[in-house]
Structure 1
């Protein structure tokens, strides 16, 4: 069995009471080890998930590998969603190459403004398909989804007020139809998860991925549904039937998009069901509108799912959506160890 022996989240970001990134990473890694009842001597490898652009640093792993526990240990860095880093650690442990691996990701708005950091990426001089600004790409993907289901953005005003009552009146238009109130604010955090074959608190039943086109208008209509069917074929159980479902709801629209794709309800019904308490197993943690670790959000979602299992849930599903246009998806199925 491969599972999660321990995990932790340490806040880091802007403000006088926030931690800088290396210290936040160190504290998260140490807390994860304490939660697992292990020491750094028990760890045989470290997998880091970080983005130089979002970090505001060059080769960010050079700054973070030591605080994360990678000194004199095998270290791997992925520049994709941290759920991919978790999968890498799972494969390493299940193959017998490692006995315990720390998976660490981080994000700090204090290091660089996320939206400004990636603004230069859509290079107008070269023809390479580097993609649009993340908010523009998200707006295109959301618009296409709304049109496909015959919905208007105004239909989600009540859900916006429910998820973010403090900013529901923020009518700043970023990219049609995205308003500032639609987007979860980034708090910043360092997240550490220990993957271990022995002594796991939570079993990892399955991990799978689906990657679509980075161009919103060329994406397939239901990548998450296909991913759900693959998990069903592999495990014999529908991931949508998990007692807890956590997803990267970086916008109010993404919450409904994920829930409907996972079979929790029709798009026109999910928003009302969330408000009325009809889907209590969806985002019991409060989602990214309560705590958004930015680039590290995918791993933070897995931590929230693991916490639900530790509290007594028999099974939990973490759905991670990533990429400029939400073209990447992962499903991680967790369960109480037998």
Structure 2
């Protein structure tokens, strides 16, 4: 399962250049263009469906080779209205953040904004990124070698039309999460010990925390804030999934008992799509 973005990478059908290095020649290989966290979820789904015993998931992006990454995001906008306006992930994130402003959290007018109300430290740092994860069914790996167990996964998408949806309601997140919580109530947020949240702004990260009603004891983004963990928008979700796995792997904690952690990624303008995955340090999955 490969994930890349042809426009950002500057290569038409970029799977042709990435399949070989990933060992995909002569194997069943799929390219996911929307986001790398979708590739991880799809790989998990294939194993659950009995289509194989293991799968390599690779998400990558190299914006340093792009002349203008913002131009790439602009080309993803609707061409007749949004594109001439200059829409990109940052502008969409600013529009979304403005819906969460209150008299108590409106930034000072003297601040230096990238796009009001977002300052540089509110935005994700961009950088070349690659992550690889091997998923396998039980019995396909030596006992004790696993890093974490996948408890469940959910993914959903809201309308592409940014002017027809409430940018602040995080409907894609709730739809994706509810898929998990309906199947497994013990994997709901009140049972999480930590969570890694991607997003287009720190406003979005805080909105997710409030919307999911996370406990105060839950560790949020212990791997670093958005500006401390450089990545590409197309790989940011997978980056947070990797961090969530790191949070529960045996060498990461000496805490006893079952621990649950979640990874949350978004794709599209203003959180159009969301992926939620819950991981555990225990084969049983939940407490």
Asked if Structure 1 and Structure 2 have the same fold, meaning a TM-score greater than 0.5 normalized by the shorter chain, the answer is: yes
Please give the residue correspondences for 1:1-338 in structure 2 after superposition, counting only pairs within 5 Å.
47-112=1-66, 113-122=68-77, 124-125=79-80, 132-146=87-101, 152-154=105-107, 171=112, 173-197=113-137, 198-199=140-141, 200-220=146-166, 221-223=169-171, 224-237=173-186, 238-264=188-214, 281-294=219-232, 295-310=234-249, 311-312=252-253, 314-338=259-283
Q: 1:227 to 1:97 in 2, by over 3 A?
A: closer
The superposition leaves residues 123-176 of structure 1 with CA deviations (integer Å, 9 ceiling, x where unpaired) of 655899x99322222221221233xx6654418x9xxxxxxxxxxx982x3332
Task: Give distance in 1, aligned partners of 2:78 and 2:202.
Answer: 29
Q: 1:234 to 1:179 in 2, by over 3 A?
A: same
Asked whether the equivalents of residues 215 and 325 of structure 1 are also in contact (C-alpha less than 8 Å), the reply is no
Q: 1:222 to 1:324 in 2, by over 3 A?
A: closer
Task: Give distance in 2, aligned partners of 1:100 and 1:261.
Answer: 35
Q: 1:127 to 1:117 in 2, by over 3 A?
A: closer
Q: 1:186 to 1:154 in 2, by over 3 A?
A: same
Task: Give distance in 2, aligned partners of 1:249 and 1:126.
Answer: 24
The superposition leaves residues 70-128 of structure 1 with CA deviations (integer Å, 9 ceiling, x where unpaired) of 11111000111211111111122122221111100112221113213333444655899
Post-superposition offset of 1:323: 0.9
Kindly indicate which of the two structures has a greater share of residues assigned to helix: 1
Question: Any idea what SS the aligned residue of 2:124 has?
Answer: coil
- Equivalent pairs, count: 265
Task: Give distance in 2, aligned partners of 1:262 and 1:61.
Answer: 36
Asked whether the equivalents of residues 189 and 213 of structure 2 are also in contact (C-alpha less than 8 Å), the reply is no
The superposition leaves residues 193-244 of structure 1 with CA deviations (integer Å, 9 ceiling, x where unpaired) of 1011133431111100121123344325242344434322211222343111
Question: Any idea what SS the aligned residue of 1:324 has?
Answer: coil
Name the Cα RMSD after superposition.
2.9
Task: Give distance in 2, aligned partners of 1:287 and 1:222.
Answer: 20
Task: Give distance in 1, aligned partners of 2:15 and 2:230.
Answer: 21
Task: Give distance in 1, aligned partners of 2:111 and 2:135.
Answer: 41
TM (norm. structure 2) is 0.82
Task: Give distance in 1, aligned partners of 2:5 and 2:147.
Answer: 29
Q: 1:62 to 1:240 in 2, by over 3 A?
A: farther
Question: Any idea what SS the aligned residue of 2:29 has?
Answer: strand
Asked whether the equivalents of residues 250 and 289 of structure 1 are also in contact (C-alpha less than 8 Å), the reply is no
Question: Any idea what SS the aligned residue of 2:132 has?
Answer: strand
Q: 1:191 to 1:62 in 2, by over 3 A?
A: same
TM (norm. structure 1) is 0.70
